[in-house]
Structure 1
Amino acid sequence: MNESEQEELEKIKKECLAYFGQSPVWKKVLRGFREKYSSYGRFGGKVVLKNLKSQDIEELEGFFGKSFHGQKSVTVSAEKFRQALEVSRYKNMTPEWLLENFFEEPLLGKQEQKLLRQQEKERIWENFRKSYEGMPIETVEESLKNIVKDSENREVTEWERLLRLGAEMYNHLPYRQSEKLYLAVFAAMLTGNPHAFDNGTADGNFLYQIIQMDMESRSIKIEASEIFPAYKRQKSYLMAGIMLDDISNYAMLYQVQAVKKDGSIHQGMAGFAREQHIVQVPLAVISEWELLRCSQDEIYIVENPSVFAVLCGKEKEKNTRRAYMCMNGQPRLAGLMVLELLAKSGTKVYYAGDLDPEGILIAQKLSRYYKGEFHYWHMETEDYEKCKSEEVISPKRMKILERITDDRLKPVVERIKAYGTAGYQEMLMEETK
């Protein structure tokens, strides 16, 4: 082929691509045949075109030299398409050439695609292993590979992204540097986006898998709690050095002594006890303690911060050393960890909560959770008589009382059902002594 003929051929090629690119109907036809090629490994099969417009019909009629008048659906076979192309101005262009150049990518059958995909994954995996040689992830890289399971509809680039993200998560878990970071700070550090690992997001769920993988490698096991379902997740993050923003990250204590993991007394807590001051302790500090001790091996826990403040004030006036804690409503991780540390020293717990459906359910949950001696405090029927309010409990809230199975609470539950109103701790200020 001389230079002139080559130039003419190149001109026809451009015209061919321009022709099939001028109408949306050809894109549908060619996309259909490309999908068929992927399945069969050859140019074959049929493409069904539906909901055709009059302009689409005209395009098809012009190319195939056949009337499709009045049809809303047309079936185009590979054989008919090849024949029409061979008698057109573009007879030197094969259907295979057209598909490759129209979509600007090579034609591959499924087996060829799988082979190339596997080869690409092997290349990525080898590069990944070299990149993280000598780092913490190296010891669990096969476990990471199992977590980042591949699927045909996942792009290889996404598979590689997850491998590398998982490695970065694992290598930089804050506990490795004896640090504790909020989840948003950790996310921003790795990705630049503080919300990248939020609960419910794909990468957030992935981080939890990485944390579980790390804990397994350290032989750390946290039992799931039926009483407080979120506990396992929250505690797992904390063991990795990550604090979640969606939980209360402190506990309010009075006259409580803390023993650190090295066996020494926490001087800060000792100082607050000497000064007879309330102390609000961050979760990060609580996680460094081994156990908690209280005078006479007992502590009085209340639900309401106002009641807590008044009780602690009375203790200071009397110059006595009774220990108190404020649970501050629904138990959070900080409060639950304090209970675990109190149980280690054999501390008896006396708990007082609001005498309404939610308050009584919290009390029952804490009683079941505590691994030691637990008593209800000012949660008897006579207490309810003194503190009942005019607030009527809705039928929906009353149904919560059906979940109360502790015999110690049943008498007050029956009294609440009879009156249908709530009782609050604040109205027992003079009684809680």
Structure 2
Amino acid sequence: MGRGRIKGVIGLNERLQECIQYFKEEPGLSRLLPKLIERYRSLGRIGGSVQLTGLKPYEKEALSAFFRKDYTRQASATISFTLFENALAKTKYFELAIIDILEAYEGREIKTNSEKQLLIENEKSAFFYELKQEVPEIEDWLSFIERKGRGSRLFHSLYEKDCLELKKILLLVAEAIKSLPQNGQFERLPFFSQRITKNPHAFDLDTELGRAFIHSLQFSLHQKGEWSIIKNKLNTEEVNEILQAFHIFRDDLLNFVTVSGIKGWKNDRIDATIEAAADNRTVLILPLREILKLTSARPHIGKRVFIVENSGVCSAILDRWQLPFYPPLISTNGQFKLAALMLLDLFVQEEIEIYYSGDFDPEGLLMAQRMKLRHSKHVTLWRYSPHDYLKSLSTKEIAIDKLAQLNRLHIPDLESVKTELLKTYRAGYQEELIEELVSDMERYYLTL
């Protein structure tokens, strides 16, 4: 019984090879099996049909002979698996299974597209599982990437191109996360990069490693509720803001804030340069490098500092200033740099009141919200009433996609302004409020 069974299998194998030889040696059928294989691979099962177009005379003859149907007058032929199976049943190859014929013709096991995709997904899952075991400190981030969270396309593209290179990048990011500056210390990005990788440019933002590192920091801030949405593309200020949140800065000379009327101390010694600027009604460009040396800061007079985001507004206030001393006035010059944030932290440390004024557009209002959330007890949002907004109203309409940013605005202090802005779709600018800002400031000093 056993020998007869083996003999039968051998017989089928010989018949299968003979069948394959027939299909490969018959020019008129050379396109048929590859098409059937392609159909099986895409459909995932034996079924459906294929189409042969632009039939040559010799193909028409071969198809007519095999299928016992006249194709000589047709320019194309639609061949279903059922038709192929019925034709095969009328030949000496009737015992052969179609899948065996297709795989023997292909010379290997045929994986369907769905099977291939499942295999790829299983391999990728194994890749991430092993990484999570190796670097558990970034497990949440790896899971976010694995499930294709926002901004993770970079990693999946790298995986498809070179999974070993991706692993190297992710391990370096894990090492960087473990080695972030601690205990209130700050570090320049090139030196941080040199410390981790021995290459000062490894974390440059035009490199895959640099982009991966920034994505990991975005994810960490997002988890803490400090970053609203993980972005694929970030502008320079956003990148700086993310790095600054982890005590890393890209430059400590070009990272600066404009100030007047303040004093600073280095331990118990007053900073003579900052004091001289205040005494002589001089505006000072204060770089982060110098702010890092300060241990405390206070207004030259009073217990309040005033902040505007626009350097032109800052200059206009000083132009109109009538009192004999310059006010403690700070211009952030757009988005908050680390220099501005660190200086404000020094003021808060001394229980100084902070009055902040900015523009009435989505970006400006989000900056105001960020300022308020950073130091809620010490920050007063200055001139943010609906009346102030309507007085500052411009003719510039805000694009719909920009207005969508207002969905991120949630503090009560700005709710009424947000409502008005959504009615008008127009921006408002500080320049229209110069007189009111100056009046508020002078009134404060006249009551001291």
CA distance in 1, matches of 2:295, 2:120: 55
Q: Which residue of 2 aligns with 1:168?
A: 172
Distance 1:381 1:116, change over 3 A: closer
Deviation, structure 1 residue 76: 2.0
Q: Which residue of 1 aligns with 2:232?
A: none
Q: Which residue of 2 aligns with 1:135?
A: none
Contact 1:250/1:282 (8 A) holds in 2:
yes
Deviation, structure 1 residue 197: 7.4
Q: 2:216 aligns with which of 207, 210, 215?
A: 210
Deviation, structure 1 residue 54: 3.4
1:220-246 CA-partner distances (Å, limit 9, x unpaired): 9454579xxx9998654433455589x
Deviation, structure 1 residue 290: 7.2
Q: 2:24 aligns with which of 16, 22, 25?
A: 16
Aligned-residue RMSD, C-alpha: 6.4
Q: 1:238 aligns with which of 235, 239, 244?
A: 244
Deviation, structure 1 residue 194: 0.7
| Secondary structure in structure 2 of the residue aligned to 1:274 | helix
Contact 1:86/1:92 (8 A) holds in 2:
no
Distance 1:286 1:78, change over 3 A: farther
Contact 1:278/1:312 (8 A) holds in 2:
no
Q: 1:346 aligns with which of 322, 343, 351?
A: 351
Residue 146, structure 1, aligned to residue 147, structure 2: no
Distance 1:29 1:149, change over 3 A: same
Deviation, structure 1 residue 298: 1.6
Contact 2:173/2:209 (8 A) holds in 1:
no
CA distance in 1, matches of 2:26, 2:269: 79
CA distance in 2, matches of 1:249, 1:285: 10
Deviation, structure 1 residue 142: 4.2
| Secondary structure in structure 2 of the residue aligned to 1:46 | coil
CA distance in 2, matches of 1:270, 1:32: 82
Distance 1:214 1:365, change over 3 A: closer
Q: 1:30 aligns with which of 29, 37, 51?
A: 37
CA distance in 1, matches of 2:323, 2:297: 24
Contact 2:305/2:354 (8 A) holds in 1:
yes
Deviation, structure 1 residue 46: 1.6
1:347-383 CA-partner distances (Å, limit 9, x unpaired): 12345567x778995897578545215374799989x
Distance 1:233 1:73, change over 3 A: farther
Letter of the 1:140 counterpart: E
The within-5 A match list for 1:26-425 is 27-35=34-42, 39=44, 45-49=46-50, 53-55=53-55, 59=59, 62-63=62-63, 64-65=66-67, 66-67=69-70, 74-77=78-81, 80=84, 84=88, 96=100, 98-99=102-103, 102=106, 106-108=109-111, 118=122, 138-140=135-137, 142-143=139-140, 145-149=142-146, 157-158=159-160, 162-173=166-177, 175=180, 179-181=187-189, 189-190=201-202, 194=206, 196=208, 204=211, 207=213, 210-211=216-217, 221=224, 223=226, 235-240=241-246, 249-257=255-263, 264=267, 271-276=273-278, 277-282=282-287, 292-295=297-300, 296-309=302-315, 318=324, 320=325, 322-329=327-334, 335=340, 338-351=343-356, 365=369, 368-369=372-373, 370-371=375-376, 372=378, 374=380, 376=382, 393-394=394-395, 396=397, 424=431
Distance 1:254 1:26, change over 3 A: farther
Letter of the 1:107 counterpart: I
Contact 1:256/1:293 (8 A) holds in 2:
yes
Q: Work out the percentage of aligned pairs sharing the same amino acid.
A: 14
Distance 1:307 1:396, change over 3 A: closer
| Secondary structure in structure 1 of the residue aligned to 2:333 | coil
Distance 1:265 1:120, change over 3 A: same
Letter of the 2:80 counterpart: V
Q: Give me the TM-score of the superposition, normalised by structure 1.
A: 0.55
Deviation, structure 1 residue 16: 2.0
Q: Which runs of 5+ in 2 are unaligned?
A: 1-13, 149-155, 230-234, 443-448
Contact 1:299/1:347 (8 A) holds in 2:
yes
Letter of the 2:47 counterpart: K
Deviation, structure 1 residue 326: 0.8
Contact 2:264/2:275 (8 A) holds in 1:
no
Distance 1:149 1:374, change over 3 A: closer
Letter of the 1:342 counterpart: F
Contact 1:32/1:47 (8 A) holds in 2:
yes
Q: Which residue of 1 aligns with 2:5?
A: none
CA distance in 2, matches of 1:210, 1:290: 31
Deviation, structure 1 residue 49: 2.6
Distance 1:423 1:236, change over 3 A: closer
Deviation, structure 1 residue 424: 2.7
| Secondary structure in structure 1 of the residue aligned to 2:206 | coil
Letter of the 1:147 counterpart: F
1:380-399 CA-partner distances (Å, limit 9, x unpaired): 989x99xx9xxx833846x9
CA distance in 2, matches of 1:288, 1:346: 20
| Secondary structure in structure 1 of the residue aligned to 2:347 | helix
Letter of the 2:187 counterpart: E
Distance 1:430 1:359, change over 3 A: farther
CA distance in 1, matches of 2:147, 2:364: 48
CA distance in 2, matches of 1:145, 1:162: 12
Q: Give me the TM-score of the superposition, normalised by structure 2.
A: 0.54
Contact 1:251/1:280 (8 A) holds in 2:
yes
Contact 2:28/2:62 (8 A) holds in 1:
no
CA distance in 2, matches of 1:307, 1:253: 13
**How many residue pairs were aligned?**
368
